Structure 1
Amino acid sequence: MLDISRVKTISLDLDDTLWPIWPTIERAEKVLHDWLAAHAPMAAALFSNPAALREIRNHVADQRPDIKHDLSAVRRESIRLALYRAGEDPLLAERAFDAFFSARQQVELYEDAHDALAVLSARYPLVSLSNGNADLKRVGIDRFFRAAVSAREFGVGKPDPRIFHAAAGAVDVEPHEVLHVGDDATLDVIGAVNAGMQAVWVNRDGHQWTYDEPPHATVSDLRQLCALLA
């Protein structure tokens, strides 16, 4: 049961909580392929299927545990490897990644997200807490957040308790005073609870909860979250 009286700060997941991530990634991968077609045509031909680029990205993540927490680094190195395998100049990877990364920031918020951010940020300090590589300023929602904590910059990702504690520390509160909100049952809910926080599960698609310990609350969208905290 959620104890609203304890909540002094809200930490928010980004991908699939504020916007759907896969349409964003698919558009960004299309931009990347178009860039390769113009500047590295052999790589574009070799990796014309998005699944092929994702396969090489997964390979890099498996082979480079030192950068697995940093999705930008994984993506950049996977592009570099793709260029190398295609006989193209690996030095093009930086520019190719820039094209991908710019498109990756062009997200489409869920219809409830913008108004909810306005309501929540007026009542609580908000901290973004993400394993992804979205840039709040480039997305256009940085004004709602007091701080941003990402696995890419912190060095470990959710569900490690240390990154949750970093989110609490970013606004000078204790973990038990933070309400974490996110869509992923393992990374967000179980991770937050294990870090000593309360957790709200954003379950937009009506999934069944499969863990022994339930979230403190479940909502189907962020409007319900605002109502819950009203």
Structure 2
Amino acid sequence: MSLIIESLNHQISDGHNQRKLLSDLSLAVGQGECIGLMGDSGSGKTTLLNLIAGLEPIQQGQITLAGVELAHASEQQLSELRKKQLGIIFQQYNLLSSLSVQDNIAFSARLAGRYDASLCRELARQLDIQSLLTQYPLTLSGGELQRVAIARALSAQPKLLLADEPTGNLDDNNSAGVVALLVKLVKSHDTALVLVTHSHHVAGKMDKTYQLADGQLTIISKVV
């Protein structure tokens, strides 16, 4: 398993009160498995991704990523885990404007000590952005930026990819194309994917989709 979540509980401050956001939540994600995560705003989807990424402390329960128990990991261990085992695709892309597309794609791989020029070229080819390699982010469309962000995340060969509304800024046609490519790529690289989305169409491309409500995950057998 790439990711194991066991009996996770998490509270947040809501005014003067504490609100239980996640309640005894458990989830297992295997290598190459694509998981969709849906839920109302404020249901805890982004918080769950942050906990998986080690960006927020675990209050109760356990998250195991690539064999590392996050609740017992040091800040250095968490940092190494994020560099070498985890990829993140942001809704706002978060590309570096001062770097070319080629250097943006290589950035995560270099950080992880896993730079592979041939892999970066192949990702660019598969995502149909090889003609953009010498351009800079400010010259690209939203769909092109998202494809570069996907290539960058996969260039480091992570065990798990987290995506928070990765197609939220794209129109339906671009969204469908990006999601289809993303699923194809993570499957070919045996990378697990946990993707937050409000789109039923996007969720329908996942192997499994869960609804997060009242702190619990409920599997959606068929997304329509």
Structure showing the higher strand proportion among its residues? 2
TM-score clears 0.5: no
Structure showing the higher helix proportion among its residues? 1
With a CA cutoff of 8 Å and minimum separation of 6, indicate the structure with the bigger relative contact order. Answer: 2
Q: Provide TM-score, normalisation by structure 1.
A: 0.28
